[in-house]
Amino acid sequence: MAEYPPKLRRLLKRIGAIADRQERIQLLIDLSKRYRRVSEEIARPPYGDEHKVPACESQAYVFPVPNGDGSLAFHFAVDNPQGISAMAMAAVLGDTLSGVPLEQVAAVPTEIVYELFGKELSMGKNMGLMGMVGMVTGYARERLAEKT
């Protein structure tokens, strides 16, 4: 876990220490309540397909915004009001990876989905949530490539 950005590492450690499934679910629900839709100053619906997370049935979108220090801030939109897991994922990624050095963001594996949600997810749900991680790390890699 040492390679993860500090905020993400702390969150994963915290959630990994929760043995009770219901307690873990409650923490994820609490995280989902921190989700905020991307502001209209950054993106207005209908959002472009280039921002749409592939394989995500909750219709999640990711919007990277460059920071002055070269890092990215990540904003999200989840169009399915029942997409609680996608909202939790959006809150986690936005909170723990925004402003983080791009090399660290790019190195975050999609498997953090398992560490957050456990392995009792449908493949569809898995792929959607992993798609959100993949899209964020992909934006970081693109940005790194542009710099070199």
Partner 1 sequence: MTAIDDRGYARPEVLVSTEWVADHLDDPAIRVIESNEDPLLYSSKHIPGAVEVDWTRDLNDQLRRDYLERDGFEKLMRRIGVTPDTTVVFYGDKNNWWATYAFWIFQLFGHARAKVMDGGRLKWEQEDRPMTTDLPRYGPTIYRAPERDDSTVRAFRDRVMAHLKAKGQLVDVRSPEEYSGERLHMPAYPNEGALRGGHIPGAANVPWARAVNPSDGTFKAAAELRAIYQKEQKLDPEREVIAYCRIGERSSHTWFVLTHLLGFPNVRNYDGSWTEWGNLVNVPIEK
Q: How far is the CB of 25 from partner 1 (least distance, A)?
A: 5
Q: 62 with 136: CB under 8 angstroms?
A: yes
Q: How far is the CB of 107 from partner 1 (least distance, A)?
A: 15
Task: Give the containing element (helix H, strand E) for 146.
Answer: helix 123-147
| Apex 49 CA angle, 29 and 35, nearest 5 | 20
Task: Decide whether 64 or 131 has the Cβ nearer to partner 1.
Answer: 131
Task: Decide whether 6 or 54 has the Cβ nearer to partner 1.
Answer: 54
Q: What is the residue type of 61?
A: Y
Task: Decide whether 55 or 65 has the Cβ nearer to partner 1.
Answer: 55
Q: How far is the CB of 146 from partner 1 (least distance, A)?
A: 20
Closest CA to 90 of 104, 68, 71, 75: 75
Q: 12 with 115: CB under 8 angstroms?
A: yes
| Binding stretches for partner 1 (CB under 8 A) | 22, 25-26, 28-29, 32, 54-55, 57, 81-85, 88, 117, 120-125, 127, 130-131, 134
Q: How far is the CB of 89 from partner 1 (least distance, A)?
A: 10
Task: Decide whether 54 or 66 has the Cβ nearer to partner 1.
Answer: 54
Q: 32 with 85: CB under 8 angstroms?
A: yes
